[in-house]
Amino acid sequence: MTDYELRVIEGCPNTVPALSLFRSALEAAGLPVKRLRVRVVTSERDAQELGFQGSSSFIAAGKDLFPVVPVPAVSCRVYPSAGKMAGVPAFGSLLAAMLESGQEA
């Protein structure tokens, strides 16, 4: 069974909307929301070990659903959304990334 993780930094203004988005996408895909957890990345060492690419990061089975050239850091992250950059990806982009990852309930 696949685990899902939202990786964030303390005080990230996008944590709440990202968590809501992730839950909604899991529900839409028929995947278990109860398998979702939030992990707060608190140090550069943690960021390096996790390959953390910024807050908020959407993870399925230990893999970033929106991989970029890894520059691990305790920092914010932005996503292209509706022709601009936003603190969370568009719902359709997250849902597509989850489905393309091939993860199972």
Helix (H), strand (E) at residue 99: helix 91-100
- pLDDT tens sequence across 50-98: 999 999 999 999 999 998 866 788 888 999 888 899 999 999 999 999 9
- pLDDT tens sequence across 2-17: 899 999 999 999 999 9
For residue 75, tell me if it sits in a domain: yes
**For position 68, what pLDDT does the model report?**
83
How many independent structural domains does the chain possess?
1
For residue 10, tell me if it sits in a domain: yes
- Structure token digits, residue 63: 């893999």
For residue 95, tell me if it sits in a domain: yes
For residue 11, tell me if it sits in a domain: yes
Domain residues for 32?
Answer: 4-100
State the DSSP code for 40. E
For residue 105, tell me if it sits in a domain: no
